[in-house]
Amino acid sequence: MEEGHVTAVMAGCGGMSGTWLQAVEEISDLEIVGLVDIDQAAAEKRAEEFHLQEAEIGADLGNVLEKTSPDAVFDVTVPEAHVEVTLEALDHGCHVLGEKPLADSMENAKKMVKAAQGADKTYAVIQNRRYDPNIRRFRDFLAGGELGELTTVNSDFFIGAHFGGFRARMEHVLLLDMAIHTFDAARFVTDEDPVSVYCKEWNPAGSWYDHDASAVAVFQMTNDLVYTYRGSWCAEGLNTTWESDWHVIGEDGSASWDGAEDFEAEVVAEEGDFFSEMEEVEVPETDPGNKVGGHEGLIREFIRSIRKGEEPETVCTDNIKSLAMVFGAIESAEKGREVDIDLEL
């Protein structure tokens, strides 16, 4: 790889590809050398839109990779295609950065992670919400120990989202399409991993979704931490932020975060007979370093990581644990009981 210059082929030229290409335009040391889509006209349209006339255009990823020999593949295909695209890219010696979710099943996810390890290549996932400066501020505060040992983490996600289209007909729409962001955030702010889960899904009266769009999940995490998730995509009024509303309890106090810029925290000042006397403590701002939010930030970190031979924060070996929470919750909801979450590859 040339110092200061990375080449990439983009697979999938619909949907989110425009967001990716807008980010790429801001990165001077990154060149898109190929665009691939099963509908070649979609690739041609993106090439024209983003002035990529020199890029190789095609409907077959393998052929385009043979012609361009890129450093990386950006996988912006639908989840069902991630496994095929990733294995093809790794087989051609490419690093891979893909849209979330990592895969459409745990079986495929494990296959992809093992392939990346076997190829000694970096495979990472766009999990851009963990790069928001506010969540990093919250995480840093919790890690500082002001609350003592954390015991309980609760998150609420209530949005009345009238998407229409495929989401209106999708099974497990909330858990599959959105909850991974909140589950990944829970792992991020606590530095704990899932052990088991009990989940209840339902579709409330008046829902505009064909299938369950609401869920409650209780996760047992490592180090005896309990994490609860309450969510709905058909909740009209009093909506939370897209980053959820958080309440964290520790042995010595509690903290809340509204998913935006509102933070509160109290710790025990003096223990009383019935109630402890509490005092407010500041949740200080922190420097997020080079963790810039959005697709641009993650793409930049991915490029830095493959240049330096380092692991990006959203590397597949970590992100698969957040995906396991999603499929564990779905399995629990379908079986109507608590299930263990297997993190073994």
Give pLDDT, residue 294.
Answer: 80
Predicted structure pTM score: 0.93
How confident is the model over 181-197, as pLDDT tens digits? 999 999 999 999 999 99
Give pLDDT, residue 287.
Answer: 78
CA 51 to chain CA centroid, Å, is 30
**Sign of the C-alpha dihedral computed for residues 194, 200, 204 and 207 taken in this order:** positive
How confident is the model over 246-300, as pLDDT tens digits? 999 999 999 999 999 999 999 999 888 888 998 999 999 987 766 667 888 899 9
Half-sphere exposure of 225 toward its Cβ, with a 13 Å CA cutoff? 22
Give pLDDT, residue 87.
Answer: 98
Give pLDDT, residue 131.
Answer: 85
| Cα distance between residue 258 and residue 262, in whole Å | 6
Which residues share a beta bridge with 74?
10, 97
Q: What is the DSSP string of 7-62?
A: EEEEE--STTHHHHHHHHHT-TTEEEEEEE-SSHHHHHHHHHHTT-TTSEEES-HH
Which residues share a beta bridge with 315?
124
Domains of the chain by start residue, with CATH = 6-121 (3.40.50.720), 133-288+324-340 (3.30.360.10)
How confident is the model over 60-108, as pLDDT tens digits? 999 999 999 999 999 999 899 999 999 999 999 999 999 999 999 999 9
Q: How many CB atoms lie within 10 A of CB 310?
A: 12
